[in-house]
Structure 1
Amino acid sequence: MNDVILAAENLTKEFKGFVAVDGVNLKIRRGQIHALIGPNGAGKTTCFNLLTKFLRPTKGTITYAGKDITSLEPADIARLGLVRSFQISAVFPHLTAAENVRIALQRKRGASFDFWRSQKVVSEYDDAAHSLLDEVGLSEFAATEASELSYGRKRALEIATTLALDPEMLLLDEPMAGMAQADIERISALIKRISANRTILMVEHNLSVVASLSNTITVLARGKVLAEGDYAIVSKDPRVVEAYIGSGHV
């Protein structure tokens, strides 16, 4: 299907006899925010790591934009336009927000990160860096060291550095983890805004965030797809309600 940008077929991962992901089929459609949820131990993180090639599947295939990426490395799929974030904020703490984004932008020059280039060459990226900071609401923090930013703003900076790679699709690993409510609201609004011309797949525990942002939700339980649909559908599925008993409320 032309509207499917990322797909998995019979995706399976075994660890010494334990099946963490068991025959998962996924279709992520272009332009959507697709959430992957489930109770603890459901296989969400393993599935996410398989899709982003940080783990190799025991069985199954993964395709991105019609290309089989099952055997590719993470850097290879990033170059194709499929870029992920991590639960732990991955920024350079002693560089400013603008410098963090500029380093990501320099990736477009190829293997060189221009560390030995003149300041004039490196400064060519300043306008683009400030534009990305503006997009994620960090314009006023351009000259602030990343270590001095609040946790929520560090996550926003990480999203800016991810956007610097000009991805067609973003995969966000628990973007709201460890955040206060004010930061959750800020990052939720940011994700909604940047999804206007991108596809997003996110693993997220905060079900109110999932309900407000997602077009489609896939629920995993014991490594298998339990249910799929919009929030109105999955939240009323008796199997989903049962899976979440003791783990939270759907």
Structure 2
Amino acid sequence: MSATGDFILKAERLTKRFGGFAAVSNVDLAVERGTIHALIGPNGAGKTTCFNLLTKFLQPSDGAIFFNGRDITRMPPADIARLGLVRSFQISAVFPRLSALENVRIALQRQRGDSFDFWRSEKALNRFDGKAMAGLDEVGLAEFAATPAGELSYGRKRALEIATTLALDPEMLLLDEPMAGMAQEDVSRISALIARIAENRTILMVEHNLSVVADLSDRITVLARGQVLAEGSYEVVSRDPRVVEAYIGVGHG
């Protein structure tokens, strides 16, 4: 974990109103470069709305967002991705009939700046194969390179989606509930993958699985009713009476 106070992503007074309802209200968030930062909270806490604001799928009603010191509050998602702030499953898409290798290769084409070049010759696309294989190897899928994506297990599909996101060479990766719907074996595998890819990247994740959060996170921000309830290490926030009350009182399904 970095201990420099060097914040790669910051949100100040982030607010989103839907009519008269404030789903997110005056949220301050600072993610330190080189860390895994988790955003947690009970159902209805505003986590998804906050995540959608940070990745610009929603436009804030008020407040500001900064990435590497640059104000990105009004920028569209595609431009933010080009800066190196990428939401997993935002640009990536798993094409079930294409092989794992072909899926990553398509993502590499996007990084090059071209559209999906389905009409290009196989020879023109083959030059991406080496980098695509390296991407599969990074997420533990090298042996499944020729396997159609639709035949992969659920956990390996999620790993492939992460590989296609990493093909965009992000400096910071935002993971939206990466463990959702997974069996324990897959949770363990993807947890290990996240820890590995975080060695040279910053990660912000929304995650319901608190044991995963405890194992992976350097810092945690707890939201409740659209506001920051607590922040700190897992040891600190898990002992905070307000956090305990919020989870027990509302449930965190």
TM over 0.5: yes
* Matched-pair identity in %: 76
Match of 1:184 among 178, 184, 187: 187
- The reply to whether residue 164 of structure 1 matches residue 167 of structure 2 is yes
1:30 paired with 2:43, answer: no
Q: What are the equivalent positions in structure 2 for 1:17-96 lying under 5 Å apart?
A: 17-86=20-89, 90-96=93-99
4+ residue stretches of structure 1 with deviation over 6 A?
A: none
Q: 2:150 aligns with which of 142, 147, 150?
A: 147
Q: Distance in 2 between matches of 1:242 and 1:41?
A: 15
The match for 2:213 is 210
Q: Does 1:201 align with 2:210?
A: no
Does residue 98 of the first structure (1) align with residue 101 of the second (2)? yes
TM-score by length of 1: 0.96
- Structure 2 unmatched runs, 5+: none
Q: Which amino acid aligns with 2:113?
A: G
SS at match of 2:95: coil
Letter in 1 for 2:110: R
Question: Alignment length, in residue pairs?
Answer: 248
Deviations 1:214-248 (A, max 9, x none): 00000000000000000000000010000010555
1:174 is matched with 177
CA distance in 2, matches of 1:162, 1:138: 14
TM-score normalised by length of structure 2: 0.95
2: distance between equivalents of 1:193 and 1:179? 19
Contact 2:40 2:221 in 1 (8 A): yes
Q: Is the 8 A contact 2:43 2:251 kept in 1?
A: no
For 2:89 and 2:200, the matched residues in 1 are separated by 21
How far does the alpha carbon of each residue in 1:128-164 deviate from its partner, in whole angstroms, 9 at most, with x for none?
1111101101111111111111110000000000000
- Write the deviation string for residues 185-232 of structure 1: whole angstroms up to 9, x where unpaired: 000000000000000000000000000000000000000000000000
Deviation at 1:94, TM superposition (A): 1.2
CA RMSD of aligned residues (A): 1.5
Alpha-carbon displacement from aligned partner over 1:82-120 (angstroms, at most 9, x marks no partner): 000249x94111111000000000113213333232222
